[in-house]
Amino acid sequence: MSADAGAPTPILDSERLAEIDQLEAFRPGLRLSLVDKFEATLRSRLAICHQPDGDAAALREAAHALKSVAGSLGADRLLAAATQVEQLADDPALPAAIATLHDEAERASAALRVWAQGGDR
């Protein structure tokens, strides 16, 4: 997907979602199923990111899992935020990265839910 240099990255990659939309014709309910799984993974992995014990390895693993699920559904901004958390697991800048991750997770989840129900993306 190409974008203008100054334009913000969309919350969702419409090309990736269009690929999934094509599969929906052969497997009705696929979008909702994928979004339900996305949200379950999101909740469990974000919980790890918010644990106060500071386990960097667990945090990296959670962020990596979020990258995978975000990438599979075209949630590119969430993928970028998870990448940053994974890279900053031992860094003092981690709290800001986790806050961004949380914000992007909410945006992606809301946008995916609308898409899954047949709305605009």
pLDDT of residue 1: 46
5 falls within a domain: no
- Predicted pLDDT at 36: 95
Global pTM value: 0.87
What is the structure's pLDDT at 9?
84
Closest alpha carbon to 54 in 18, 10, 20, 91: 91
Least Cα distance to 63 among 38, 87, 27 occurs for: 87
What are the residue ranges in the chain where pLDDT is below 50? 1-2, 121
What per-residue confidence (pLDDT) applies to 7? 74
Give the chain's mean pLDDT: 89
pLDDT at 2: 47
86 domain residue, yes or no: yes
Instruction: Note whether residue 56 is domain-resident.
Output: yes
Question: Domain residues for 77?
Answer: 14-21+29-116
pLDDT at 118: 83
Nearest Cα to Cα of residue 60 among 82, 44, 27, 38: 82
Whether 45 is covered by a domain: the verdict is yes
Number of separate helices (H) and strands (E) present in the chain:
5, 0
- Please report the pLDDT score of residue 89 as a whole number: 87
Q: How far apart are CA 50 and CA 110, in angstroms?
A: 20
Cα separation, 102 vs 34, whole angstroms: 20
The answer as to whether 54 is a domain residue is: yes
As for how many domains the chain has, the answer is 1
What per-residue confidence (pLDDT) applies to 90? Answer: 86
Residue 121 placed within a domain: no
**What's the CATH number where 73 sits?**
1.20.120
Q: Tell which residue, 42, 32, 100, has the closest CA to residue 67.
A: 42
Counting Cα atoms < 13 Å in the Cβ hemisphere of 5 gives 0
